[in-house]
Amino acid sequence: MKKTLILLAASAALAFGGEQFSMSDADRAMYAEMLESNPAEMFVAGGADLLEEHCGGDAGLAKFLDVSEEKLPEYIAGFPRYVKKLEGVVALDQVLQALMAQNKQKPFALKSAEMFAMSAYAKSIANDVEINIDVTANAPMKKAYALGKEVYETKRGGRGLACLSCHSSDVIGSILRTQPLPDLGDAESNSGGTWPAYRMTKSSLTTIQKRFQGCMQNALLAVIPLGSEEMVALEVYITNLGKGNAIAIPGLKR
């Protein structure tokens, strides 16, 4: 099974390189198969079990967030958001950490496979619901949005690069490392609504903040810690770019 996934990932990676890469019919068939059966589905299913075991399932999460189970999908579609009991703007995985702590469980680390799976399942509760993040809802959200925009646009490191360097309108569609640079807010990329996602080149499920860190490492920038104020703010900003797109977890990325 692992060998098959590796082969599928390799062929799928070629599909994103533009016309300079030629794919065989067999490779295209493998890629189509992967699109039809996302390997991350099994991780999301495992995440449901973890949420049930450590957080009381959907009902436990809804109770912690002070919403009904019926309204839970719409509420989740608004993350990252200000959560009063946590006294700040937080991402969904930080909510899960807090809920585990309340249940006297040792919280999973934000970088752990367990947290990736559990947060993927939690966000999938909102599948097909449009992203409804409200960056003007209150002072903390306004502050987070402004900080996220600053992180996104500020050039750092010896190369003087920012997130915007690869995602401004004048470079979108250009090829970098065999991959077209995406518009993070359009319906196709839908970065705010398709992470956690399965990364074909890594053969694993990961979160958007972990992907941000990978970009920073590739650009030789100082890596912002997962769950930090700056990292959550960056997720706020990116999610807002795709407001109105439907959530579809798990995503499938190169």
pLDDT at 199 over 60: yes
Strands (E), the chain: 81-83, 88-90, 175-176, 179-180, 197-199, 204-206, 251-253
Residue type, 178: T
- Assess whether the previous peptide bond of 225 is cis (omega < 30° from 0): no
Q: What is the rounded CA–CA span in Å between residue 9 and residue 16? A: 12
Q: What is the rounded CA–CA span in Å between residue 195 and residue 44? A: 12
For 210-254, the DSSP string reads HHHHHHHHHTTPPPPPTTSHHHHHHHHHHHHHTTTSBP-SSEEE-
Q: What is the pLDDT of residues 123-165, one digit of tens each?
A: 999 999 999 999 999 999 999 999 999 999 999 888 888 888 7
pTM for the model stands at 0.83
Contact predicate 116/205, CB 8 Å: yes
CATH 1.10.760.10 domain residues, the chain:
139-253
CATH code for the part of the protein at 41-124 = 1.10.760
pLDDT at 34 over 80: no
Q: What is the pLDDT of residues 102-127, one digit of tens each?
A: 999 999 999 999 999 999 999 999 99
Average per-residue pLDDT for the chain: 84
Residue type, 22: S
CATH code for the part of the protein at 139-253 = 1.10.760.10
